[in-house]
Structure 1
Amino acid sequence: MSEQYPIVYDIIWALSFNHDIQQQLRSNPSFIQKLSQLAKESDDEQVRKTTHGILWNLEIDHQDRSISQSTKQNTFDIMISYSHKEKVLCKQLYDELTKSGYRVWIDFDQMHGNVMDAMAQAIDRSEIIIICMSEQYRQSNFCRAEAHYAFQRQRRIVPVLMQKHYKPDGWLLFLIGQLLYVDFTKYEFVRAMDMLSKELKAIHVPDMKITPVEREIDIDIVPPNLSVSSPQAFSDNILQWSQSQVHQWLLQHKLVQLSQLLIDCNGRSLVHLYKYIEQGQTSKILSLLQEDSLRRINQSISLIELSCFHSLMQEQQATKSTEINRNIEETYF
């Protein structure tokens, strides 16, 4: 491997987000050794940053850290994740949020040294991650690693659109899933900030200190396409659950991988999946789920998560059966 063509490392980094390619790269000790050497000794700062990024994707340790490991009191309410092409607009966003009393982390000067560790620490110390979406953001391996880690750490993600006519696609579309976003290209900055502020207040940051503003908030101006991230009440009938309720239920039970895999499933789909697992051939079902998981989220299905899911669904079905039997007894006896 040579330092003459830094773009090669960018390509390898992009490929290393794929689970199968990760395994192949990990199985090549000389490749890992060369990457580690470049990350420490290369004279090209961009090569050092990129090789740090590849090594980050290939590490197991940071993926296995428990969620509780980073839940000590947050230093920041919000972290702004953005591409430096949108720096001017993000600076305005930062200024307005800090005026409102939020503690905001943002990298204006581009981090030096091991940027991956610095990025991880910033996310671990923040409550909410604002993702500033644009084509440049989607194309950036740094931004992808940042957004992926925020999702992995179960941080609250609030997407905002920064580029006119851009529609999220690829990994970015998958990551934001059913989340609705504030469009800073459609509305005047002041109005878009008002929408974003209401979304952030709905999420509620417990330890933030905001100076009260003595004016009534006109709830009617919140547009219908702006989601509110407060906890949802789940119907006892799982068949009535929406896609977002299924997603939240899975996250509440720490089934993070399944929440990604089943992003398009509503309650009825969830029940059908449970029945397939219950009644089908176990090896065949596992094989099909494994194929789906690798194709859709580039990860092998977690048997632990699948077992927990099966157990939770059994509890749901048992609760439903008990309720039906009680209703019958009350009606006829």
Structure 2
Amino acid sequence: RLSSLEILLALTFNDDAAGQLKDNSQFISNLKMLVTSSTNRHLQRVAGNLLWKLEKEETTIAKSHETSTISDITLEKYDIMLSYSHSDKDLCYRIHDCLVKDNFRVWIDRDQMHGQTMVAMATAIENSDFVFLCMSEAYKQSAYCQSEAHYAFERQCYLVPLVMKSGYRPDGWLGIIASGKIYIDFPKLGFDVAYEKLKNEIIRYRTNQTQSTSTKKSRRHGLAPKTINLSVKSDEQNLSVEEYPHCINQWTTTHVRSFLINEKLESLLPVLGNMNGRLLHETYKRCKAHWDLMFQTFKAEVAADNPEKLLTVDTYIRFLDAIEKYIPIVPNDSFKPSTSASMFCTLI
């Protein structure tokens, strides 16, 4: 029974399946009975999550968007919400403990709560500055983790992807949500270096927020200004254009930035400016396969970097059109560029 409900929870991310479940009044009634009367906490948890996805999530997101248009000035209860799989708990707990020592206010579900789990999760996301996605294959396979990440994404929270396992790179739904963001790879960098990079990312975002809008109140955090050591260069610095190869897969980070500047797509520098050509190529493929979702991802990233900037559909379309000529031709590809540049790229 538990496995069946977990499968149904995963299916709720499909709109058609969710609609059919929502219309089944007997099923909804049984879920409510499980939440209130079951002695099995795991059944309570999955039943509560199903009810949240089917009855509450959509209206909660809509209300949050209405609220966000009323006022941009908020005082969050937490600095950070940690979204993680229980399989990665040791590393996540270590990150949590260090953040708390640095006086950050962190929400984490240490006890794998049951009952009104999704309500508690949603409240934590709504009242946090940042949501850290602790990425691993176990995280991707968990319907609970997908619910958390999806809700945070729909809320347009500032997401920071953390790699939990050596060599892991997200794909599927997690790859889409994390696309265009800089991963902080704890196994690759080592804990101390990765944690410093994580703190710098927090400071970078808050510094941009403070500088961009003078009406916003500075939010309290646990790092003194003298410890700021930003590793990310501002978009206004070093905007010289370097000639780039015809094949996108040969581009360096400098080539990518030169391409964006040359095509007058500087507004996308915060989203794509730290990628090399292969990562940009992968992002392009995701844009073609998930046009609307990737546009919303780009838009949220641009706004997160500078709330006064708005990514337009025109800019997004110009980006896709401009980059297409540098994409290599792949046999049986459903979206083949047909330019001499891409043909050259294929030949080499």
- Length-normalised TM-score, structure 2: 0.63
C-alpha contact 2:48 2:115 (8 A) present in aligned 1: no
How far does the alpha carbon of each residue in 1:274-326 deviate from its partner, in whole angstroms, 9 at most, with x for none? xxxxxxxxxxxxxxxxxxxxxxxxxxxxxxxxxxxxxxxxxxxxxxxxxxxxx
Matched residue, 1:150: 152
Matched residue, 2:22: 26
How far does the alpha carbon of each residue in 1:245-264 deviate from its partner, in whole angstroms, 9 at most, with x for none? 7657733789xxxx9xx9x9
Which stretches of structure 1, 4 residues or longer, exceed 6 Å deviation after superposition?
234-238
Q: Name whichever of 124-133 and 164-173 sits farther off.
A: 164-173
Distance 1:20 1:183, change over 3 A: same
Q: Give the distance between the partners of 1:152 and 1:11, measured in 2 at CA.
A: 22
How far does the alpha carbon of each residue in 1:54-81 deviate from its partner, in whole angstroms, 9 at most, with x for none? 1111124223223353774101111111
How far does the alpha carbon of each residue in 1:42-98 deviate from its partner, in whole angstroms, 9 at most, with x for none? 221111110111111112422322335377410111111111111111111112212
Matched residue, 1:66: 64
C-alpha contact 2:200 2:229 (8 A) present in aligned 1: no
Q: 2:7 aligns with which of 5, 8, 11?
A: 11
Matched residue, 1:180: 182
Q: 1:269 aligns with which of 316, 320, 323?
A: 320
Q: 2:126 aligns with which of 103, 124, 144?
A: 124
Matched residue, 2:333: none
Matched residue, 2:35: 39
Q: Give the distance between the partners of 1:218 and 1:149, measured in 2 at CA.
A: 29
Q: Give the distance between the partners of 1:220 and 1:63, measured in 2 at CA.
A: 32
C-alpha contact 1:240 1:267 (8 A) present in aligned 2: no
- Paired residue secondary structure (2:187): coil
- Paired residue secondary structure (1:191): helix
Q: Give the distance between the partners of 1:94 and 1:185, measured in 2 at CA.
A: 16
- Paired residue secondary structure (2:112): coil
1:250 counterpart = 2:299 = yes
Q: Name whichever of 172-181 and 95-104 sits farther off.
A: 95-104
C-alpha contact 1:241 1:266 (8 A) present in aligned 2: no
Q: CA RMSD in A?
A: 3.4
* Correspondence list, 1:269-288, <5 A: 269=320
C-alpha contact 1:242 1:267 (8 A) present in aligned 2: no
Matched residue, 1:210: 222
Structure 1 unpaired stretches of 5+: 222-226, 228-233, 272-333
1:57 counterpart = 2:53 = yes
How far does the alpha carbon of each residue in 1:193-241 deviate from its partner, in whole angstroms, 9 at most, with x for none? 11111111111173123352756848499xxxxx9xxxxxx98976665
How far does the alpha carbon of each residue in 1:14-37 deviate from its partner, in whole angstroms, 9 at most, with x for none? 111111111111222222222222
Q: Give the distance between the partners of 1:249 and 1:41, measured in 2 at CA.
A: 44
- Length-normalised TM-score, structure 1: 0.66
Q: Give the distance between the partners of 2:13 and 2:78, measured in 1 at CA.
A: 28
Q: Name whichever of 139-148 and 240-249 sits farther off.
A: 240-249
- Paired residue secondary structure (1:66): helix
Distance 1:202 1:26, change over 3 A: same
Q: Give the distance between the partners of 1:122 and 1:49, measured in 2 at CA.
A: 17
- Paired residue secondary structure (2:180): coil
Structure 2 unpaired stretches of 5+: 210-217, 234-252, 254-259, 273-294, 305-309, 323-348
C-alpha contact 2:6 2:46 (8 A) present in aligned 1: yes
Q: Give the distance between the partners of 2:232 and 2:156, measured in 1 at CA.
A: 30
Matched residue, 1:108: 110
Letter in 1 for 2:129: E
Q: 1:81 aligns with which of 80, 83, 88?
A: 83
Identity within the alignment, %: 34
C-alpha contact 1:241 1:267 (8 A) present in aligned 2: no
- Paired residue secondary structure (1:198): helix
Distance 1:56 1:101, change over 3 A: same
